[in-house]
């Protein structure tokens, strides 16, 4: 009997990973106060309509472990081609990504795919706050990132959208830390292309 394919495709896995990165998609035109190099982003919490979501990153990691080695290598290669790498984290699963000096200087360090845009931005000390709107899926929200020097930050974001005529509110928090100026074999982060 042939092995049952995993429930997740590479595209779904990459999109799920980027959801954890989403809280910082809408930052300023100024250069963020962070070092270029290898960064690790770890989800802290996700809630929808006030109810905690299960830690999807841990479930993704478990599914990856159960995949046949060839399929796992293919999925990891697809993620790595986008500049993402799974790594053990303190809260299930962290994502590693390479941020270059040019990405920081051009404010492309957390760029998604053009489906979201800033509608407001404020900076107060080490905290950057913003509002944004997105077209796919149609949503809006706000968030903030607080930098702890140039080697760490925390982010908090709220996204409001409508699904089947019902308003949904998603709250997400994550933290990130700088690991090294050398990204090793990981290329700079690249958002997925539009479907």
Q: Is residue 122 part of a domain?
A: yes
In a domain, 88, yes or no: yes
Q: Does residue 167 form part of some domain? A: yes
Q: How many domains does the chain have?
A: 1
Q: What is the pTM of this model?
A: 0.75
Q: Is residue 77 part of a domain?
A: yes
Report the candidate in 85, 126, 110 with the shortest Cα–Cα distance to residue 21: 110
pLDDT band at 28 (very low <50, low <70, confident <90, very high): very low
Residue 3 lies in a domain: no
For residue 111, is it within any domain? yes
Asked, for residue 44, whether it belongs to a domain, the answer is yes
Per the structure, the complete domain to which residue 30 belongs is given by 10-180
Continuous segment of H or E residues that includes residue 147: strand 138-147
Task: Give the chain's mean pLDDT.
Answer: 77
Residues 158, 8 contacting (CB under 8 angstroms): no
**Which single residue is written with the structure tokens 């796992």?**
72
- Tens-digit pLDDT profile for residues 75-107: 878 888 888 887 754 444 688 889 989 888 876
Could you tell me if residue 92 is left (phi over 0), alpha (psi between -120 and 50 degrees) or otherwise beta? left
Residue 5, domain member (yes or no): no
């Amino acid at each position: 009997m042939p092995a049952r394919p995993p429930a997740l495709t590479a595209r779904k896995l990459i999109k799920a990973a980027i959801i954890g990165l989403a809280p910082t998609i809408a930052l300023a035109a100024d250069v963020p106060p962070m070092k270029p190099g290898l960064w690790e982003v770890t989800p802290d919490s996700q809630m929808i309509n006030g109810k905690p979501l299960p830690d999807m990153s841990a479930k993704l990691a478990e599914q990856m472990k159960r995949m046949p080695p060839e399929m796992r290598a293919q999925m990891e290669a697809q993620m790595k081609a986008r500049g993402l790498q799974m790594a053990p984290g303190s809260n299930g699963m962290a994502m590693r990504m390479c941020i270059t000096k040019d990405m920081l200087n051009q404010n492309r360090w957390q760029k998604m795919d053009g489906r979201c845009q800033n509608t407001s931005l404020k900076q107060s000390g080490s905290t950057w706050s913003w509002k944004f709107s997105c077209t796919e899926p149609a949503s809006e929200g706000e968030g903030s990132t607080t930098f702890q020097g140039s080697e760490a930050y925390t982010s908090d974001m709220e996204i409001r959208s409508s699904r089947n005529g019902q308003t949904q509110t998603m709250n997400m928090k994550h933290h990130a830390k700088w690991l090294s100026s050398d990204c090793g074999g990981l290329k700079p982060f690249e958002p997925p292309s539009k479907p």
